[in-house]
Amino acid sequence: MTAFIDIQGAEVVFATPKGPFQALRDIHLQVQRGEFVTLIGHSGCGKSTLLNLIAGLQRPSAGVLLCDNREIAAPGPERAVVFQNHSLLPWLTCFDNVQLAVERVFGARETRAQLRARTQAALALVGMSHAAHKRPHEVSGGMKQRVGIARALAMEPKVLLMDEPFGALDALTRARLQDELLKIVARTASTVVMVTHDVDEAVLLSDRIVMMTNGPAATVGEVLAVPLPRPRDRVALAEDAAYVHARKAVIDFLYTRHAHVEAQAA
């Protein structure tokens, strides 16, 4: 089966005042269409850098990245990004923030009525229709993130890229948005690559978890399949043997074997 996202030997080296700094080395990773993959690892392991490569925001120093058999050479509307900071324009309403992206992608070939319908549908998908005409400062942090997700989904991307989208939220809001994301992905059959620091979040959401080694020169240390059926219920999973096993495997990699490697390096 041909991978939808195919990363072949990607490396990233940054020029610094102290000389070259290798952030990533020899990254090989394949993501199938409709798969939900999370990238997890300690701070500085290059998770966001790898996500930026897939987004086309960063070019690899070596290797090649493909999406749907086409080389990733720049950002494109087929790859939408949701950042930890919602990045909404404060002077625009929630509706206008989403419609801005819709117009960018579909404006040349659709009527204004069609563009409005797309925007309304995206806000409805994330449960934000009621706040369409409010500005970002008038809604909560969780609602801002919903609008950011709506803006990304409104572009009908082939791939949804998420860089710790719930990292700045309180625990209850984070849990609610995780559950909403599960429902949205089920309805849209989206291909998702998400960066997270949260082990429980990774196990709850993922089909596979990509565990990164420590930087510098970080690489893929291990890839764990999460064999949990969908739809998933966080309460039911709390005592599920497969969930507990996957969670333990990630913790073991990050805090036992990886910590031991760090201690040897020190």
In the block, which residue shows the tokens 């490569």? Answer: 53
pLDDT over 60 at 79, yes or no: yes
Please answer whether residues 70 and 54 qualify as being in contact, where contact means their C-beta atoms are separated by less than 8 angstroms.
Answer: no
The pLDDT assigned to 263 comes to: 45
Residues β-bridged to residue 28: none
Name residues whose C-beta falls within 8 Å of residue 257's C-beta, 6 or more positions apart in sequence: none
Domains of the chain: 1-14+33-78+157-266 (3.40.50.300), 89-156 (no CATH)
H or E stretch at 144: helix 141-154
Say whether pLDDT at 123 is over 90: yes
Tokens of 200: 């429980």
Q: What does pTM read for this prediction? A: 0.88
What does R_g of the chain's alpha carbons equal in angstroms? 19
Q: Fill in the DSSP letter of residue 92.
A: S
- 24 against 190, higher pLDDT: 24
- Helix, strand, or coil (residue 194): strand
pLDDT digits (tens, 9 = 90+) for 189-235: 889 999 999 999 999 999 999 999 998 899 999 999 999 999 898 89
With the CA atoms of 125, 127, 131 and 132 taken in that order, what torsion angle do they form, in degrees rounded to the nearest 10? 10
Joined together, the tokens standing for residue 177 give 């948005």
Q: What are phi and psi of 72, to 5 degrees?
A: -85, 110
Quote the distance between the C-alpha of residue 39 and its chain's center.
Answer: 8
